[in-house]
């Protein structure tokens, strides 16, 4: 006999409703189609479970404030998608153990896995994947709704869900004649108005027309900022050192970020206060690291130049922030304020007025070329099919490494000394963006997210940590980066030849290292079996990025490539790549701890270790 179903049993209509009854976040994230078929299955499972609980056949789990993701939730994990399961099957069917040397028996791997866009050639053939794995990864991107997410990002939807705002760094590099209206405001004209104000300021400095309080032209600019207000400008000014403005009044740029004052103290020991300008770079204008450096700099100027503090601020300080009122309160004259917008994340802000030190160093034309290069990559990201899309492919291979091959360490290895700050810059970009473990629906993730990003100039790393890459126990994914051309414009012929030979040496090492990491012992023919300590197992995956030369446009495209890679991975992991709540608690506790150290009160509220350490400071500072 056929039993009639209970009223609350999921039927066609209720399943449809569930698919539609999305949380505000999902709706904002355009998540309406995501995992829809799986939601139906889930709802049936949820029904069964609920009734088993009610009948006492299943015990209730202890309630927690943030329950681990389980089948009772309507929110599906990316792990429940068909593509994820297919990838797991591929892993079990041999991909987990297959060696890169075996994969390289497939013909034309380089052609199969090479991509090109905006001046960057990306070789993904040394990754431990096959065309079939790549197909499933693309299917995964589709199931995670990546194509729509890209359009939402670029059109200015509020993709930063926890802070309820867009993440529109791409708008900062739109050309002047572009249009982008976001929530009723035409942003492109605002962006270009700020760029124009920045240009006026840069020209004044480079023409020697910006004078200090005693009338002497400014010769040194010190950027006081930290995190995104430091790392981007620092990295780019170093990377574009060959593009320094020539035939202009010479202005040097310096960076001081550390709150302990050590970098600043060094600069202040030799800079001339009469000719030094400070840029206070802070999106929030509330970061203690920067404000403490600013206060020390102000005291240094006031002590040496004497006179009116207001005057000193007017001649020796520029502010870059989203908070004009805080800059004014600090004493920055409105004419010296450059603004940007809260829809620009700190680690995505070098394209805004935060890039002022870059423009001072390489000139505004080159700064605009940097923006144009990034825009070219944005256009590629927006229009290219997933199969051809560099940021998407870079992201997908990262997902394969982290979530399937379980490789959680990722080294960035530039073969160009000018890119020495690139690993540090990518560290913030990736780890602050995707170092998260809670999904957009506030569920605990049940998969790994961002790997540990680290790195160093490749040739220097060879003499430091490559030993571990070749013979250690950790799997590490590597990104090798190198320009094809270097030194071609050096005027002195002999010097040019020497330097070009050095560049060739660098390239040879770059390719040799990635080859040995891939093939291990098989990279060379050997007569016998070497002892175990001389053996190389290989099978460390890597990507290689080549670019014609390290110029502003290519660098812009390269940075944008990684920004978008981060976004695609964040979309697949279903996390907010644009907030950074994980840094807040430490700041709060530091403020309280500082109070305890300074007042010598409140020690009892701390744990035993912190008490012991603080007492050591007190004893040590009293010379006991
Ligand atoms: O504490 C982390 C952080 O907020 C970063 O995201 C940011 O780049 C950095 O601090 C500096 O912040 P601000 O530019 O507001 O001084």
539-569 tens-digit pLDDT: 999 999 999 999 999 999 999 999 999 999 9
Fold (CATH) for 170-369: Rossmann fold (3.40.50)
Q: Is pLDDT of 131 > 90?
A: yes
Give the pLDDT confidence score for residue 31 in this predicted structure. 39
The yes-or-no verdict on residue 61 having pLDDT over 90 is: no
CB-CB contact of 205 with 218 (8 Å) = yes
User: Per mean pLDDT, which range of 62-66, 146-150, 299-303, 603-607 is the poorest?
Assistant: 62-66
Protein residue closest via CA to atom 5 of ligand 1: 227
Question: What's the average model confidence in pLDDT over 616-622?
Answer: 94
Res 299 pLDDT > 50: yes
477 in Cβ contact with 411 (< 8 Å): yes
Q: Residue 528 has what pLDDT?
A: 86
Residue with tokens 């540990």: 452
Candidates 160, 225, 228, 339: which one to mutate for ligand 1, based on the most atoms within 8 Å of Cβ? 228
Which position has the higher pLDDT, 430 or 64?
430
Mean pLDDT, residues 35-47: 40
Of residues 86, 414, 111, 379, the one with CA closest to residue 239:
414
Looking at residue 307, what is its pLDDT?
A: 77
According to the model, what pLDDT value does residue 572 have? 98
- Beta strands across the sheet bearing 120-123: 114-117, 120-123, 542-547, 477-483, 409-414, 452-455
Report residue 59's pLDDT band, with 50, 70 and 90 as the boundaries. Answer: very low
Report the separation in Å between the CA atom of 507 and the middle of ligand 1, taken as the mean of its atom positions.
Answer: 36
Q: What percent of the chain has pLDDT over 70?
A: 88
pLDDT value at position 527?
Answer: 81
Q: Which residue, by CA, sits nearest to atom 8 of ligand 1?
A: 228
Question: How confident is the model at residue 55, as a pLDDT?
Answer: 39
* Residue pLDDT, tens place only, 574-588: 999 999 999 999 999
What per-residue confidence (pLDDT) applies to 74?
60
**What pLDDT shows up at residue 41?**
41
Higher pLDDT, 24 or 589: 589
Residue of the nearest CA to atom 2 in ligand 1?
583
What is d(CA 390, CA 387) in angstroms, rounded to the nearest whole number?
8
Decide which of 526 and 40 is more confident: 526
pLDDT of 624 reads: 59
Question: What is the spatial distance between Cα 488 and Cα 89, in angstroms, rounded to a whole number?
Answer: 50
Q: How far is the CA of 33 from the centre of ligand 1 (A)?
A: 35
The residues carrying an active-site annotation are: 432, 463, 587
Mean pLDDT of the chain: 90
Question: Half-sphere exposure of residue 71, counting CA atoms within 13 Å on the CB side?
Answer: 13
Report the distance separating Cα 141 and Cα 392, nearest Å. 8
The residue whose CA is least distant from atom 9 of ligand 1 is 227
pLDDT at 445: 97
Specify which residues 256 forms β-bridges with: 224
Q: Which atom of ligand 1 is nearest to the CA of 583?
A: 1
Q: Which residue has the higher pLDDT, 228 or 248?
A: 228
Tokens of 284: 């929030």
Q: How far apart are CA 236 and CA 370, in angstroms?
A: 9
Nearest to 412 by CA among 377, 458, 374, 451: 458
Q: What is the pLDDT of residue 247?
A: 73
CA–CA gap between residue 362 and residue 357 (Å, rounded): 9
Q: How far is the CA of 332 from the centre of ligand 1 (A)?
A: 20
Residue list, ligand 1 pocket, CB within 6 Å: 226-229, 282-284, 287, 290, 346-347, 432, 580, 583
Distances (CA, A) of 546 to 109, 237, 470: 17, 20, 23
Say how many Å lie between the CA of residue 346 and the centre of ligand 1.
6
Position 76 scores a pLDDT of: 85
Distance CA 556, CA 371 (A): 6
Residue 525: per-residue pLDDT = 87
Name which CATH class applies to 59-157+384-579: alpha beta
| Cα-to-centroid distance, 159 and ligand 1 (Å) | 19
- Residue 73 confidence (pLDDT): 53
- pTM of the full predicted structure? 0.89
pLDDT in tens, 355-406: 999 999 999 999 999 999 999 999 999 999 999 999 999 999 999 999 999 9
pLDDT in tens, 461-520: 999 999 999 999 999 999 999 999 999 999 999 999 999 999 999 999 999 999 999 999
Pocket test for ligand 1, best of 345, 346, 563 (most atoms within 8 A of CB): 346
Note the pLDDT of residue 69.
47
């Amino acid at each position: 006999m056929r039993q009639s179903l209970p009223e609350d049993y999921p039927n066609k209509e209720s399943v449809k409703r569930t698919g539609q009854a999305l949380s505000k976040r999902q709706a904002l994230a355009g998540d309406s189609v995501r995992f829809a078929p799986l939601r139906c299955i889930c709802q049936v499972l949820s029904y069964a479970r609920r009734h088993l609980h009610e009948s006492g056949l299943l015990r209730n789990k202890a309630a927690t404030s943030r329950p681990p993701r389980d089948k009772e939730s309507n929110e599906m994990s990316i792990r429940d998608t068909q593509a994820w399961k297919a990838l797991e099957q591929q892993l079990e069917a041999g991909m987990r153990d297959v060696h890169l040397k075996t994969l390289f028996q497939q013909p034309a791997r380089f052609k199969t896995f090479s991509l090109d866009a905006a001046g960057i050639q990306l070789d993904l053939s040394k990754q431990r994947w096959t065309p079939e794995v790549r197909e499933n990864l693309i299917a995964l991107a589709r199931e995670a709704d990546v194509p729509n997410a890209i359009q939402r990002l670029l059109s200015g939807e509020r993709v930063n869900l926890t802070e309820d705002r867009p993440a529109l760094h791409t708008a900062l590099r739109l050309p002047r004649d572009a249009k982008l209206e976001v929530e009723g405001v035409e942003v492109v004209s605002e962006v270009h108005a700020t760029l124009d104000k920045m240009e006026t300021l840069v020209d004044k400095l480079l023409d020697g027309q910006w004078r200090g309080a005693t009338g002497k032209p400014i010769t040194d600019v010190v950027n006081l900022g930290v995190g995104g207000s430091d790392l981007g400008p620092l990295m780019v000014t170093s990377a574009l050192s060959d593009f320094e403005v020539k035939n202009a009044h010479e202005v040097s740029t310096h960076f001081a970020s550390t709150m302990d004052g050590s970098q600043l103290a060094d600069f202040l020991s030799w800079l001339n206060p009469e000719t030094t300008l400070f840029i206070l770079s802070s999106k929030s204008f509330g970061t203690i690291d920067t404000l403490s450096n600013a206060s020390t700099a102000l005291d240094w100027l006031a002590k040496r130049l004497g006179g009116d503090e207001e005057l000193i601020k007017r001649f020796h300080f520029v502010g870059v922030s989203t908070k004009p009122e805080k800059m004014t309160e600090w004493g920055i004259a409105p004419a010296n304020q450059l603004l940007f917008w809260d829809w620009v994340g700190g680690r995505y802000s070098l394209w805004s007025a935060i890039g002022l030190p870059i423009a001072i160093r390489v000139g505004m034309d080159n700064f605009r070329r940097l923006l144009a290069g990034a825009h070219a990559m944005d256009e590629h990201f927006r229009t290219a099919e997933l199969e051809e899309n560099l940021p998407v492919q870079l992201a997908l291979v990262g997902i394969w490494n982290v979530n399937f091959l379980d490789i959680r360490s990722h080294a960035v290895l530039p073969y160009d000394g000018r890119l020495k700050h690139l690993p540090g810059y990518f560290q913030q970009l990736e780890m602050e963006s995707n170092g998260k473990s809670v999904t957009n629906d506030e569920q605990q993730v049940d998969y790994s997210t961002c790997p540990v990003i680290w790195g160093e100039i490749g040739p220097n790393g060879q003499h430091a940590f490559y030993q571990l890459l070749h013979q250690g126990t950790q799997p590490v994914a590597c990104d090798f980066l190198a320009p094809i051309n270097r030194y071609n414009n050096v005027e002195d012929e002999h010097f040019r030849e020497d330097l070009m030979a050095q560049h060739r040496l660098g390239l040879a090492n770059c390719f040799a290292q990635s080859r040995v990491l891939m093939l291990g012992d098989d990279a060379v023919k050997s007569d016998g079996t070497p002892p175990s300590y001389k053996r190389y197992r290989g099978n460390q995956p890597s990507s290689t990025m080549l670019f014609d030369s390290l110029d502003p446009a290519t660098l812009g495209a390269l940075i944008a490539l990684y920004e978008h890679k981060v976004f695609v991975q964040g979309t697949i992991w279903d996390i907010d790549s644009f907030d950074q709540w994980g840094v807040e608690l430490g700041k709060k506790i530091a403020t309280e701890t500082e109070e305890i150290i300074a007042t010598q009160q409140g020690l009892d509220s701390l744990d035993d270790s912190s008490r012991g350490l603080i007492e050591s400071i007190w004893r040590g500072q009293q010379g006991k």
